Amino acid sequence: MKVGYLGPVATFTHTAAVSAFPHDEAVAYASIPDCIMAIEKGRVDVAVVPIENTIEGTVNVTLDYLFHQSSVPIVAEIVVPIAQHVMVHPNNSNTWQSVQKVMSHPQAIAQCHTFLQTELYGVERETTPSTAYAAEWVSKHPNELIAAIAPYMAAETYGLTIVQENAQDIELNQTRFVVLSRHPVTIALPDREEEKTSVSVILPNNMPGALHKVLATFAWRNIDMSKIESRPLKTSLGEYFFLIDLLSDGEAQLVQNALEEIALLGGTTRELGTYHVYRLPVKVK
């Protein structure tokens, strides 16, 4: 089985993918859209992509592609406790505070905002497709004073020196990853937790209190919502779709009834998947 992930080797997505599917072939992609379109076009059997971080919230590009581009359901969620480290080429380990640029994925840079403001204030920040991409780039340019923010594994993989550990703003930093597949999968992680159902909702037009009425379909059935998020429909200004995560264990029929009620109200719904949540048992350095 081929498992697509946001690469290259040593991203947090890579860790999630190989932890969940240790005996399958991991295939790296340069961006989240590339990874999602690979599963959409059948080039891989499974795709693993990040969807939310404790500090920075939703990974918008993932949410948008799941709604606008992908028809492949979510079949699992993996929660990974993570730490972000600042690393440089060994040639520059003694002069790292004089770096001229910091490179990383935009989520990682944002997660380390306080450190960058206090320790590397004014230093240029350049976003990259992934954390490991930044680490790999730094490893190939030993004569440039550039730092990367990336996982511990990236430092090991690309021969870099960590000059600041745990640079993220808070200690308990976690990222949720969704697993996409057209077929049932077996996750090689021991901690299987609650069942969720993710649905997208487009509200009925010109109905006063539309969002309230939609949410009430879940509330009066005692269906617990773990998250609600809005994103632009990309049709015209002020039009949105909502992604709602429901705790659906034992509530499958009630969820279906709620979605039918939303349809009767004039709303449009789509199930993005019903799945279980898994957690990596230890913190990923």
Residues designated catalytic = 175, 177
266 close to 204: Cβ distance less than 8 angstroms: yes
Three-state DSSP class for 245?
strand
132 close to 14: Cβ distance less than 8 angstroms: yes
Q: How far apart are CA 109 and CA 116, in angstroms?
A: 8
Angle at 80 between CA 10 and CA 48, to 5 degrees: 65
Q: Please name the residues in contact with 277: beta carbons below 8 A apart, sequence gap of 6 or more.
A: 76, 77, 78, 79, 192, 193, 194, 195, 196
- Structure letter (DSSP) for residue 82: B
154 close to 56: Cβ distance less than 8 angstroms: no
Please report the sign of the dihedral spanned by the C-alpha atoms of residue 71, residue 76, residue 81, residue 83.
negative
Q: Give residue 125's identity as a one-letter amino acid code.
A: R
Characterise 111 by phi-psi region: left (phi > 0), alpha (psi -120 to 50), beta (else). alpha
256 close to 274: Cβ distance less than 8 angstroms: no
